[in-house]
């Protein structure tokens, strides 16, 4: 097999192309690193979360966060969830429930999860107080936590805030695309 010798212009073009690809790869890895770290931290938090029934029965207020790894809104809110968990440790149980895990289908249906993130709030007796969907600031999350800890009513949010940026579940997208046909959460029909 014979190799054709490249001319100076072709060599320069190849080197420039390889350099450009290396720079693009560097940028990609740099920007993806933060997202991968957040996903890993959320996964670790989810793994060390109490089981839902244990959290609801242990005498502390509880927050369920229904999330998905693919959810950009969940990823954007993740640093605030981690910060909240660190600040309220031993005062509130934060239970992360990945909606892509079939283990949680009964809870997804019980709490009518139609999009992620969805936060469901419970008092120290395990009574469901309400839920909140979409992207919320750390201040909102902290105000809710303070209310749960002090056993005060949960602050209300305007309708615009309540359903701000939410990632719809695939079944909800299908419902919209299928002219409102009645499809239950997590059904993929």
The torsion angles phi and psi of 86, rounded to 5 degrees, stand at: -65, -40
The predicted pLDDT at position 183 comes to: 40
Query: Considering the domain boundaries, does residue 15 fall inside one?
Result: no
The predicted pLDDT at position 161 comes to: 43
74 noted as active-site residue: yes
Query: Considering the domain boundaries, does residue 20 fall inside one?
Result: no
How many structural domains does the chain have? 1
Give the domain range for residue 152: 43-177
Query: Considering the domain boundaries, does residue 85 fall inside one?
Result: yes
Q: Please name the residues in contact with 187: beta carbons below 8 A apart, sequence gap of 6 or more.
A: 171
Query: Considering the domain boundaries, does residue 155 fall inside one?
Result: yes
The torsion angles phi and psi of 186, rounded to 5 degrees, stand at: 70, 0
Cα–Cα distance for residue pair 141/129, rounded to 1 Å: 15
The predicted pLDDT at position 21 comes to: 81
Query: Considering the domain boundaries, does residue 5 fall inside one?
Result: no
Query: Considering the domain boundaries, does residue 23 fall inside one?
Result: no
- Number of Cβ within 10 Å of residue 46's Cβ equals 17
Q: Give me 158's structure tokens.
A: 């305007």
The predicted pLDDT at position 32 comes to: 56
Domain CATH number, residue 107: 3.40.30.10
The predicted pLDDT at position 176 comes to: 41
The predicted pLDDT at position 43 comes to: 80
- pTM attached to this predicted model: 0.67
Query: Considering the domain boundaries, does residue 154 fall inside one?
Result: yes
66 noted as active-site residue: no
Query: Considering the domain boundaries, does residue 135 fall inside one?
Result: yes
The predicted pLDDT at position 30 comes to: 60
pLDDT by position in tens, the chain (length 189): 565 565 677 777 888 887 778 777 766 656 655 454 556 777 888 888 899 999 999 999 999 999 998 899 998 999 999 999 999 999 999 999 999 999 999 999 999 999 999 999 999 999 999 999 999 999 999 999 999 999 999 887 654 444 444 444 554 444 444 444 444 444 333
Q: Determine which one of 55, 56, 74, 166 is catalytic.
A: 74
Q: Determine which one of 45, 55, 71, 116 is catalytic.
A: 71
């Amino acid at each position: 097999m014979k190799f054709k010798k490249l001319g100076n212009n072709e060599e320069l073009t190849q080197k420039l192309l390889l350099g450009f690809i290396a720079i693009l790869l560097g940028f990609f890895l740099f920007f993806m690193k933060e997202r991968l770290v957040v996903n890993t931290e959320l996964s670790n938090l989810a793994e060390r979360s109490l089981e839902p029934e244990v959290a609801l029965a242990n005498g502390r207020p509880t927050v369920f966060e229904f999330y998905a790894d693919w959810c950009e809104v969940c990823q954007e809110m993740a640093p605030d969830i981690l910060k909240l968990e660190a600040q309220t440790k031993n005062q509130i149980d934060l239970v992360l429930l990945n909606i892509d895990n079939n283990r949680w289908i009964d809870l997804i249906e019980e709490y009518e999860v139609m999009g992620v993130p969805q936060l469901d709030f419970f008092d120290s007796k395990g009574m469901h107080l309400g839920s909140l969907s979409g992207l919320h600031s750390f201040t909102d999350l902290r105000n809710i936590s303070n209310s749960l800890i002090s056993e005060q009513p949960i602050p209300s949010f305007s309708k615009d805030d309540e359903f701000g940026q939410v990632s719809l579940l695939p079944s909800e997208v299908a419902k919209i695309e299928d002219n409102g046909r009645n499809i239950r959460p997590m059904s993929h029909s």
